[in-house]
Copies of this chain bind each other. A is one copy, B any other.
Amino acid sequence: MIADRRFPVRLDLERGTLELSHGSGGRAMAQLISELFQRHLDDELLLQGNDQALFQPPPGRLVMSTDGHVISPLFFPGGDIGSLAVHGTVNDVAMAGARPLYLAVGFILEEGFPLADLARIVESLARAAKAAGVAVVTGDTKVVERGKGDGVFITTTGIGVVPDGITISGDQARPNDRILVSGWIGDHGVAILSQRENLGFETQIQSDSAALHTLVASMIATVPDLHCLRDPTRGGLATTLNELAHQSGVGMQIRETDIPIRSEVAAACELLGLDPLYVANEGKLVAICPPEQATRLLAAMRAHPLGVDASIIGEVVEDPQHFVQMETGFGGSRILDWLVGEQLPRIC
């Protein structure tokens, strides 16, 4: 980077901490942007230094999605708030069948936060965006007083383009449709909680945080008339199924034995008093498709690295009450309700 006469003394990225002036709009903020953010985020539009990004989107319908990230701790096995802030929004965009294109990033930072940690987070965010092929085109930074925030909050907003002929929405599930999940359920929430509670499990469980848009692309290439896609984040698989049932005005019947749950995750949940079906995921999706397409869809998912453990877990049924019912491993049946209360605060 070339020297900038505005900043005679370089930021101390090893021992420095955030000050309120870094959110002032003045010289200190310009320096933070120049020496920390732009070191990792170097999209041409961002470097122009305008308060907005200008671009010509490809033709077609667009989707827009926004997600605030307040996860605690900021760094966890399998990721950090930077990569999560990319994956979370890329996935919400992808769940409409869209190809993610542009990302806007808003930071709300706390005075006193170490610049070295911020740099790690920004670097991770930039790496995740590059890996996902999305351009970080615009951003914003605010700094609040010590004790008025919690280190780093990141709100990302994504735009993507939807291929012609694709209509995927939570209200499209129809009786007799098949319900699939793309892999192991509960990893993210258990990884975060283990870290937070300092639980020393023998095998460390990693967050599944990942960008799912390439999986989605190969799914819609195989089965263009996919009905629903949703990533079961906060509230877990059970809540996501209830949302979809409510939105589509249907019921669901799923089979416990077909839901992929790692034995370590099941064991950790038992220890922690959690139900894995309500634990957040950050790299999984639920798909609903016409029955005659389910086998092909499953094969397409399993052929993708992020879907190798995919499974057909049940069917959509008619039910004016919109219940999600589960056949348990013992042959019984129970109703999977919405998550009630707060199982795991600040999981994303």
Q: Which of A49-90 contact B (CB under 8 A)?
A: 49-57, 61-70
Total interface residues on A, CB under 8 Å, equals 87
Q: Say yes or no: A24-B235 contact (C-beta < 8 A), given A149-B149, A247-B49.
A: yes
A48 at the interface (CB under 8 A from B): yes
A149 to B170, alpha carbons, bound, how many Å?
32
Question: Which chain B residue has the least Cβ–Cβ distance from A143?
Answer: B345
User: B-facing mask of A335-348, CB < 8 A → 1, else 0?
Assistant: 00111111101100
Inter-chain contact B338/A27, CB cutoff 8 Å: yes
> How many angstroms from the CA of A171 to the CA of B105 in the assembled complex?
22
In the complex with contacts A70-B144, A157-B157, A338-B30, A65-B48 CB distance below 8 A: no
Q: Which B residues lie within 8 Å of A148 (CB)?
A: 149-150
- What residues of chain B lie closer than 8 Å to A21, measured between beta carbons? 340-342
Question: Are A144 and B343 in touch, CB under 8 angstroms?
Answer: no
Of B24, B104, B230, B343, which is within 8 A of A24 by CB?
Answer: B343
Interchain nearest-CB distance for A59 vs B (Å): 8
A67 vs chain B, min Cβ distance (A)? 5
**CA of A345 to CA of B109, assembled, Å:** 13
Q: Give the residues from 278 to 329 in chain A that come closer than 8 angstroms, CB to CB, to chain B.
A: 278, 280, 321
Copies in the complex: 2
Q: Contact partner of A106 among B57, B68, B137, CB < 8 A?
A: B68
The answer to whether residues A339 and B57 also contact, given A50-B169, A104-B66, A170-B50 and a CB cut-off of 8 A, is no
Q: Does A20 contact B (CB under 8 A)?
A: yes
CB distance from A76 to the nearest CB of B (A): 17
CA A343 to CA B52, docked complex, whole Å: 24
* CB under 8 Å from chain B, chain A span 208-247: 230-231, 233-236, 239, 243, 246-247
The residue among A26, A48, A139 with the most chain B CB atoms within 10 A of its own CB is: A26
- A148-173 with Cβ < 8 A to chain B: 148-150, 153, 155, 157, 159, 162, 169-171
B25 and A345 contacting across the interface, CB-CB below 8 Å: no
CB pair B61 A55 closer than 8 Å:
yes
Q: Hey, which chain B residues are within 8 Å of A346, CB to CB?
A: 142, 144-145
Residue on B with the closest CB to A231? B51
The segment out of A92-100, A117-125, A256-264 that lies at the interface is A92-100
Q: Which of A20, A108, A139 has the most CB of B within 10 A?
A: A108
Residues of A within 8 A of B (CB): 5-6, 19-21, 23-30, 48-57, 61-70, 92-93, 95-96, 98, 102, 104-108, 137-145, 147-150, 153, 155, 157, 159, 162, 169-171, 230-231, 233-236, 239, 243, 246-247, 278, 280, 321, 337-343, 345-346
Give 17 pairs: A residue, B residue, CB < 8 Å, sorted on A: A25-B235, A25-B239, A26-B339, A27-B338, A30-B338, A50-B95, A50-B96, A52-B93, A52-B96, A54-B62, A64-B159, A66-B155, A70-B144, A108-B108, A108-B153, A144-B345, A153-B153
